[in-house]
Amino acid sequence: MRHLALLSRLARPADTKIVLLVLDGLGDLATPAQPRTALEAAATPHLDALAGRASLGRILPVATGVTPGSGPGHLALFGYDPAAPENDIGRGVLEALGLGLVLAPTDVTARGNFATADAAGNLVDRRAGRIPTAACERVCARINAALAGFDGGRVEVVPGEAHRFVLWLRGDGLSAAVDDTDPQALGVPPQAARETAPDGAATAALVRRAVAVMEQAIADEPQANRVLLRGFSRLPDLPQMDELYKLRLGAFAGYPLYRGVASACGMEVVPCGKRIGEILDTVAARWSDFDYFFLHVKQTDQAGEDGDLATKTAVIEEVDRELPRLLALGSDVLAITGDHSTPAPMKAHSFHPVPLLLAAEIAFADGARRFTERTAATGHLGTFPSRDLMGLLLAHAGRLEKYGA
Amino acid sequence: MRHLALLSRLARPADTKIVLLVLDGLGDLATPAQPRTALEAAATPHLDALAGRASLGRILPVATGVTPGSGPGHLALFGYDPAAPENDIGRGVLEALGLGLVLAPTDVTARGNFATADAAGNLVDRRAGRIPTAACERVCARINAALAGFDGGRVEVVPGEAHRFVLWLRGDGLSAAVDDTDPQALGVPPQAARETAPDGAATAALVRRAVAVMEQAIADEPQANRVLLRGFSRLPDLPQMDELYKLRLGAFAGYPLYRGVASACGMEVVPCGKRIGEILDTVAARWSDFDYFFLHVKQTDQAGEDGDLATKTAVIEEVDRELPRLLALGSDVLAITGDHSTPAPMKAHSFHPVPLLLAAEIAFADGARRFTERTAATGHLGTFPSRDLMGLLLAHAGRLEKYGA
């Protein structure tokens, strides 16, 4: 908080624009088996030219060796300490944001799994045979019909992928101090919801009664006949970026999770498409409305998760082709980086530092010929925590007062 | 404080000498418009030779993206956390130190502006037409004559540049918990001094009475007929460097502000000239009296503030010509760096990291051919907070015990 307090104290309005282009999971690996990273393999003439007059460096999302989820990865890019408990985005909230739910600060959500129990009520499959998404939607509809008259209609389930759903509790007086009901074991029944602190007692009781209604409604389902709940949580009470930094902030992301995180931080979410070209169309149309533009490209991460270096490379080349259009908008500061690395050889998020390019009139020109993990490792910006990026963007945009006389 | 406590616990006396040569505002920018920094443009054969056997690195004065004033920049070089509130040097104190006032710990100072009010008492010019310094001195003399018998002679004004002055309150029982009287607006009268905490009430009342005397004395002035006060403050109660580090410390600075900060940290201030040659004359004469020598060269910063790369380059070349004389003194550790960057293209202090050269028998020899922002960015010392430099100097001087067994 002291870090944010210092930035907030120094932040001043200015007539400058900042663009943060996040290529999700950008960082990749060079190994004997994969000698070139996606950034190295991609043909990127426009990025190459930009690199010559930009500063390069690397960011560490959470801490050395720590692999971030998407929530912490983005919170850090926005200046928050992702390891601070008060900034934690719970699993239920993250799942809800990913489904595009618009949560009130008082709402409580949990991540749900459908599960299969035998006649004695003991679990035999904690994922209900990974039922198809269509089946999940059908079962959720049965549950919501049964919950329609329950507790003033404040309880609802929202279907996700396969056996996953979100339990959504609305209204006043709720608490997230409720323990998981998933016993994480077979041959035993689900656990009854219990409070983890005294102020969770009423909500835990509400959840127990709701689960009874839900499970009665699906008792005849051959697979999805029980519910397991985890990660009861509410939106963290984050200091809002517009007040912190004296910026008008717009989020341009094609996927709900990133819109949700941006919204929770105080950005205005602007509906847009999923590919960089569609995103830039929307950014251009709203250019005069914001000082700070968060652009999120998801496909780099998806390709990394698939272990598909060729597709990850192609996505970077697609971004490079659109880069002149982004540059033509004339931002004062442009940063290109990722929320974390998703190396293709790992098919997963990783802890590796993330390459960063920062272009601005007062950026020290590294003179690099390319923007890659290797050139970034020796760039002028060095390697630093992701949460310091926000201060660097503001500084390059002339939006921070001098500290002390 | 934990950082200082650790260093202090480990500090041990030794028969070694440390020289910290601060070239104020040393760091500069390479951009397409200014392809070479001052360090890169300067012909520095002696620095080049030294760089080959020294360790290079970069320091961050306050935090990533934060531009430091001279006070925080130097406190960090001396090992203090410049962002800690207890180390804050208030505006009034800094201004007083800059005028060469020797403040007692109990004194309270404020930065003053002369201003112009109309017949109704409303401000029409918050800077009194930026009256010449000679006029400021004349007006201050009128005020001091009027204050001669006031409150036991404990209140005085000291003229600064143009419309600026310092209000100096001496004696026991004073508090700095007094708010600014500058309304930061025209068409309204100056504000009456008010306490910001209960213990400031008596001092605020004293200031109100003093301001009445002052403004009565200058009521007939056409321009400088009102006073605006800001930044009431006293010297921070800094742990003293001689006790912390078991060193005899001498400050060799040609300008009052830096002498004042050094004195507040526990250094003995040695009167000397303003140019590096004059400073070295004095250092040589006092070589046996100290273990730590803080040498301050101001002209690099002045040239940067003027946007004058050629002069900044020439100052660095002047330092280079004198370097053999400094080396001949035979210090065990020599560090050359700045308190912050003042890039010529920005004509102001900046947030960019500051290059650092550290020469010592046990310094890892980077083998660099030059000492520049670019070679420093990849040097052995890495990029680290300025406040860690003090520990590095002590370590290279063999003045820190091993930590733990």
Comparing alpha-carbon positions, the chain B residue that sits nearest to A401 is B67
Contact A364 B29 (CB under 8 A): yes
Instruction: Give the strand pairing for A354-360 and A55-60.
Output: antiparallel
pLDDT reported for residue A149: 86
Per-residue pLDDT of A155-193, as tens digits, reads 999 999 899 999 999 999 999 999 999 999 999 999 999
Chain A residues whose C-beta is within 8 A of a chain B C-beta are 2-3, 6-7, 10, 53, 361-365, 367, 378-380, 382, 384, 388, 390-396, 400-405
Flag if A362 and B383 touch (Cβ within 8 Å). Answer: no
Cβ–Cβ under 8 Å, residues B2 and B317: no
In this structure, are strands A354-360 and A292-297 parallel, antiparallel, or unpaired? unpaired
Query: What pLDDT shows up at residue B111?
Result: 94
Query: From B231, which residue of chain A is nearest by alpha-carbon distance?
Result: A405
Residue in A closest to B62 by C-alpha? A403
Which of A378, A393, A395 comes nearest B67 by C-beta?
A: A395
The tens digit of pLDDT for each residue in B126-183 reads: 999 999 999 999 999 999 999 998 998 899 999 998 999 999 999 999 999 999 999 9
CB B66 to CB A365 under 8 A?
Answer: no
Which tens digit of pLDDT belongs to each residue from B284-335? Answer: 999 999 999 999 999 999 999 999 999 999 999 999 999 999 999 999 999 9
Torsion angles phi and psi, residue A111, rounded to 5? -85, 130
pLDDT under 50: residue ranges of chain A: none
How far apart (Å, rounded) are the C-alpha atoms in residues A268 and B398?
A: 56
The residue of chain B with its CA nearest to that of A375 is: B378
CB contact under 8 A, B343 and A362: yes
Per-residue pLDDT of chain B (405 residues; tens, 9 = 90+): 678 999 999 999 999 999 999 999 999 999 999 999 999 999 999 999 999 999 999 999 999 999 999 999 999 999 999 999 889 898 899 889 889 899 999 999 999 999 999 999 999 999 999 999 999 999 999 999 999 989 988 999 999 989 999 999 999 999 999 999 999 999 999 999 999 999 999 999 999 999 999 999 999 999 999 999 999 999 999 999 999 999 999 999 999 889 999 999 999 999 999 999 999 999 999 999 999 999 999 999 999 999 999 999 999 999 999 999 999 999 999 999 999 999 999 999 999 999 999 999 999 999 999 999 999 999 999 999 999 999 999 999 999 999 998
Q: Does A362 sit within 8 Å of B65, measured CB to CB?
A: no
Q: What is the nearest CA distance from B30 to chain A, expressed in angstroms?
A: 5
Kindly list the structural domains of chain A, giving each domain's residue range(s) and its CATH number in brackets, ordered by start: 2-88+238-396 (3.40.720.10), 93-233 (no CATH)
pLDDT attached to residue A1: 59
Residues of B with CB under 8 A from a CB of A: 29-32, 35, 58, 62-72, 82-83, 88-89, 91, 94-95, 231, 343, 345-346, 348-353, 373-374, 377-378, 382-383
pLDDT number for residue A402: 95
**pLDDT > 70: what percent of chain B?**
100
Please name the member of B66, B89, B349 whose beta carbon is closest to the beta carbon of A6: B66
Q: Which alpha helices (H) appear in B218-344, and where do they start and end?
A: 241-245, 256-264, 276-285, 299-305, 309-328
| Among the listed residues A166, A220, A214, the one whose alpha carbon sits nearest the alpha carbon of residue A190 | A214
Nearest 5°: the CA angle A130, A131, A132 is 115
Contact B71 A405 (CB under 8 A): yes
> How far, rounded to the nearest angstrom, does the alpha carbon of residue B18 sit from its chain's CA centroid?
20
Contact present, B26 and B341 (Cβ < 8 Å): yes
In this prediction, residue B2 carries a pLDDT of 79
- Asked whether the beta carbons of residue B66 and residue A405 sit closer than 8 angstroms, the reply is no
Question: Residues B245, B8: contact at Cβ < 8 Å?
Answer: yes
pLDDT one-digit tens code per residue, A26-83: 999 999 999 999 999 999 999 999 999 999 999 999 999 999 999 999 999 999 999 9
* pLDDT at A256 (0 to 100): 87
Output the six-digit token pair for A335. 């940063």
pLDDT at position B98 is 86
Residue B372: which residues within 8 A CB-CB, separation 6 or more?
Answer: B37, B39, B40, B355
Best mutation site among B1, B29, B39, B66 for testing chain A: the one with the most A CBs within 10 Å? B66
User: What is the distance in angstroms between the Cα of A59 and the nearest Cα belonging to chain B?
Assistant: 12
Copy the structure tokens of residue B143. 């005020």
- Comparing CB atoms, the residue among B72, B353, B382 nearest residue A403 is B72
Q: Which residue of B has its CA nearest to A359?
A: B31
